[in-house]
Each structure stands twice: as structure tokens, then as C-alpha cells.
Structure 1
Amino acid sequence: MSFAETNEQPHFEKTSFRVGKKIFATYDSKNNRACIKLSIPNQDIFCLYDKSIIFPVPNKWGKQGWTFIDLSKIKKQLFTDALTLAYGEVAPKKLTNLIKSKEKK
């Protein structure tokens, strides 16, 4: 929720995190798992870490960049990096530029 203009809404049996109406992440509390939207190149890179922890959704959604993350096993900084990229996939450019300027400081 620390990303600009992010809101939390129900999404079926999960919680979604959105910028405007676009979802960049969901949280499944029952399975302690997140699902985030990455570009295909970023998905490929993050999945190299450990495919038992971070992996494409096993269907057509995965081929569009949707990626599962096991929250009980992932390192906090790796999750933060992946979530930041997911936000950047759907947020307007003016908002992603805010993140980039904070990273430079």
C-alpha cells in the first residue's frame, strides 16, 4: 500500500492491489501466496532465483507475466523488488517516475 495511488479491493476469494482499476498484485491468505504482474523478461529473471518459490502461473495467465510467489520462503528484498516492478507494469508513467526518483536518492 506504500505505492502512490494504490488501493486494496476484494478479487474473488483474494485481496487485490490496484492502481486505478488495474491489478498489479493479489494476496491469497489461505495459501500465503502473492500473484504479481511482471513483464515476460522480468518474470524469466525472477524465476531463475528458485522455481519452487517464484514461478509463472501454470496457464495462459502465466504466459502474460502473472507470477506466483510463496511468501513463506521468499526473501523480503527480493519480494520488494518484484512487487515494485509489478507496480511499474500497470501504474501510469508519472507514478513510476516517482519510484525511480526515490531509488536514485
Structure 2
Amino acid sequence: MATGEDLRRIALSLEGTIEAPHFDRMAFRVARIYVTLAADGRTANFNFTPDEQQFKCMMLADAFSPVPNAWGRQGWTTADLSQLGEEDLENALCMAWAHAQRRKPAR
């Protein structure tokens, strides 16, 4: 069972990640926000692609669900951390982190 502290520790170990308040949550970002942690540390919102969201929600339906609004249609996905193992949490964080990297300019 993963916790908010596990999320914080793993996220901050990913290169370039900083933590900062974001409304009523804590946000973890590199060039962009890739995950936010609820104040109670029980849930987190991950920025996946829509395909990744669909896969995560299918494979770990007890843990992942789309955010119920336009953000969810863009891939933002809520996770119940108590339903994730540490390996699943690390995988989700790395996936979201990869999308948040600064894009290289086109040549």
C-alpha cells in the first residue's frame, strides 16, 4: 500500500522535480506539473495520455479512474494510493514525469 509520503519521496527523486503548492494540493513538476497530491495524502492526480489513462484504469481499476471533467478527457487520472503497490506508484510517476519534460524545439 503506497502513501503520500511514498509519492513525495519517489517524485522528488526524479531528475528536476520540484514541489510547490497548487490550489489545495501539492504539485510536482519539471517543465510542467505531472502529478498533484491531495492535502490528506490519500489520492493523487497523474497527467497521462488518454491511451495511458485507459490502460491504467483497465489494469488497476481499483486504483485509477479518470478525473470526472474535461481534465479527465485530456488524460488526468486520479489514483487511490492505498490501492497501489510501491512499484505501481513508481511506474505511474515515471510515466507522468516523462511527459512533463521540456520539449525540444523543432529544427
CA distance in 2, matches of 1:79, 1:45: 15
TM-score normalized with structure 1 length: 0.81
Give ranges in structure 1 of 5+ residues lacking alignment. 95-105
Decide which of 19, 25, 30 is 1:14's aligned counterpart. 25
Listed one character per residue, the Cα deviations across residues 58-97 of structure 1 (whole Å, up to 9, x for unaligned) are 1100000100000111111111111101001111368xxx
After superposition, give the CA deviation of every residue in 1:6-59 in whole Å (9 maximum; x if it has no partner): 100000111000113x10000003261010100111111111123231111011
For 2:48, the equivalent position in structure 1 comes to 38
Identity percentage of aligned residues: 33
* 1:89 pairs with 2:99: yes
1:92 alignment partner, SS class: coil
Equivalenced residue count is 93
Gaps of 5+ in 2: 1-11
Match of 1:2 in 2: 13
Higher relative contact order (CA 8 A, sep 6+): 2
